Amino acid sequence: MVLYVNPINETHVREPGLVVVDVAAADEATALAFQQMLAGRWATATAEHTTRDPGQPGVRLRCYLDLRQELPAHS
């Protein structure tokens, strides 16, 4: 059960290809590693830190992706 999730701003999903990703993970390192994996593939507005919901396990973060801007693969 999620006690509180910030509402999604219409600006963040106003066009096809824009995505809001809410991540829940056991710890900050895992959440940030997942976010970095996404940022390595698509244009991403990343979160600088995670948050904790009182009484809930783990941590959360929210990031924003633009699937229209796929980044070139690294060789």
Structural domain for 63, as ranges = 13-70
Residue 7 located in a structural domain: no
Considering the domain boundaries, does residue 75 fall inside one? no
- Token duo for residue 18: 């824009």
Q: Which residues, 6+ apart, have CB-to-CB distance to 47 below 8 Å?
A: 35, 61, 62, 63
Looking at residue 3, its pLDDT comes to 47
Rounded to two decimals, the pTM is: 0.77
**Ranges of the chain whose pLDDT falls below 70:** 1-5, 11-12, 74-75
Choose among 38, 30, 35, 26: nearest CA to 70. Answer: 38
**Does residue 46 belong to any structural domain of this protein?**
yes
Residue 45 lies in a domain: yes
Q: What is the pLDDT of residue 28?
A: 95
Burial tier of 24 (Cβ tally within 10 Å: 0-12, 13-18, 19+):
middle
